[in-house]
A and B are shown apart, each in its own frame.
Chain A
Amino acid sequence: MNFPPAAPGASAGNPDPGDFAALLQARGLYPPPAVATSGPASASAIPTQTQATTILAFKFADGVLVAGDRRATAGNIVVYDRADKVLEIDRHSVMAIAGVPATAWEMARVLEHSFQYFRRTQLQEMSTGGKVRALSKLLRDNFGFVMQGVGVVVPLFATYDTAGPEPGSKLYFYDVMGANFEVAEYAATGSGSPAVRGVLYYENTWGRKPLSEYTLEEALNLTLRALDTASEADTATGGVDRHGRIFPMVKIIAAEGIRTITDDMLRGLFNGGRHPSAQPLSAGVPIG
């Protein structure tokens, strides 16, 4: 039991009454930003660490789809095969993470509490712009650690804006310093992202129709195939693990909220596809 006694003017220590991160820092509950004392610990540290996953997101007919594989690695070791990298922040927002889990999950936790704290104290929902910026600030505060070669996080942020001047699905990606970029169609991050970007670009540009017109089933199919493609060459991406029956985490964000796609649905779609190893062994490999 460690509540500090309530004092008159309880917010006196908090410079901004709506800012939960500032409150945590004022109370000493969140580590202060690390200060970079020299350059990067080693030139290869940053790129290696940002590359141990595959996260993708794109807009389709029903909203935004955000998906991530489930593999967590340390160097060339697979440490966990059920990591959840697609995290719900509030009723309409999802943050998908590529990077160091400790930092990323903590950021997601701060973010989740920040949005709630803002709504509760200020009696209004934080705007989409405010939410996007809040994540920017967390990344910016983390940059000292990044410069020391630890704690790199490169997230995607997807939300449904109900109150802004242009309501609808919004999708953003970030760089390690916290710059945010709104994307119109799709985004991918992590080590498997070059392959995924290739798939998404190809389908969007040369496919039968643009991604924005995909139905849910088509979007899920593409997602599974893109992650499978990424995992083909990238050992840090779990892809679709048919043997362990581990499927990617896929969430859909729309006006009515967030929907998590069940493993059963993903299994059905994936096995219905033409991937050779999706067929039972006895059935042989279809040709053509």
Chain B
Amino acid sequence: MIEEPFRFVEAIANRREYIENQIATGSPIVALNYAGGILVFTLGRERQKVFEIYDRIAMGAIGHPGDIERLRMTAIELASTEGFTRSASDVSLRRMANYSISPALKAAFEQIYGAPYLARVLFVELGPDGSQNTFLRVDYDGSIQSNGTPFSKSRQEYAVLGGTRASAEQMEKFLARDYKNGLDLDAALRLALDTWTAGFLVFEGDKNPEELPDEGTLNRTRREQLEAATVEAAVLESKVATPATFRGLTDGELRPLLEGNA
């Protein structure tokens, strides 16, 4: 089967369709820069989806929990052993994704008799001086999209992870319109929630929307979803005394967001 080019292409296409279907209903994840660092945000129902990887790296993922877990452990092991044998400043998200995570995902995806990873991952990394943060998305087939190379002049200040391409595009459009530099945490949380809602609306209602949702639809959906699910948010803080910068947000910090939508 592998020797025949057409069959291989067909098998890959089938596999792609299967995986896309499997992860389509995943709750979107929104990550954006704010005044204090990076915010990673999602709404969830049953399990944790935003994780600490290393001192300055966090991860959000949608897909099968078993596959997410394998990728998460791999990332933590890579970062921890590198940080131990060399130093914490040698741990780099770009290297980890390019040389380890992506090849592993691609190999699993193309070995059509084996099981692929049913997962899509968003990594974020706090830059050395709190600027030049990296947002990097690795898909189930190993493809990487990031917000810029080390040489690029302007970097995008946010990234999203959606269950479908349309959902992700809608969220990016939303952020392109509403994102501003230097948001405080409360403003960043509100923007993240609105962006999440815009992404959620895509697989809830219109699968290929032309327009961004209007204010009324956004408000109503947001309220419904906050009742049904819980907010999960974590930050990488650029101004902390300890090397580890990851912190899950507390109920107290999320309360203004929830009460504003009660």
- Residues of A bordering B, CB below 8 Å: 1, 3-11, 14, 17, 20, 23-24, 27, 29, 91, 109-110, 113, 116-117, 119-121, 123
Contact = CB atoms under 8 A, between A and B. Distances in A.
A123 B47 CA distance: 12
Interface of B: 48, 51-54, 70-71, 73-78, 80-85, 95-96, 99-101, 103-104, 108, 242, 244
Interface of B is mostly: helix
Contacts of B104: 5-8
Contact of A5 (B53, B54, B84, B103): B103
30 contacts: A3-B78, A3-B96, A4-B78, A4-B100, A5-B100, A5-B103, A6-B71, A6-B75, A6-B78, A6-B103, A8-B104, A8-B108, A10-B70, A10-B74, A11-B77, A14-B77, A20-B84, A23-B81, A24-B84, A29-B84, A91-B242, A109-B84, A113-B83, A113-B84, A116-B244, A117-B80, A120-B51, A120-B54, A120-B76, A123-B51
A175 to B, nearest CB: 26
Q: Which 4 A-B residue pairings sit nearest by Cβ, starting from the closest?
A: A6-B104, A6-B74, A10-B74, A3-B100
Given A6-B78, A6-B104, A121 B73 contact: yes
B80 A119 contact: no
Contacts of A91: 242
Contacts of A3: 78, 82, 95-96, 99-100
Contacts of A9: 70
B243 to A, nearest CB: 9
Contacts of A10: 70, 73-74, 77
Contacts of A5: 99-100, 103-104
A116 B79 CA distance: 11
Contacts of B51: 120, 123
A121 B48 CA distance: 13
Contacts of A123: 48, 51
Given A24-B84, A119-B52, A120-B53, 8 more contacts: A5-B100, A5-B104, A6-B75, A7-B74, A11-B73, A11-B77, A91-B242, A121-B76
Nearest to B57: A120
A29 B70 contact: no
Contacts of A4: 78, 100
Nearest to B71: A6
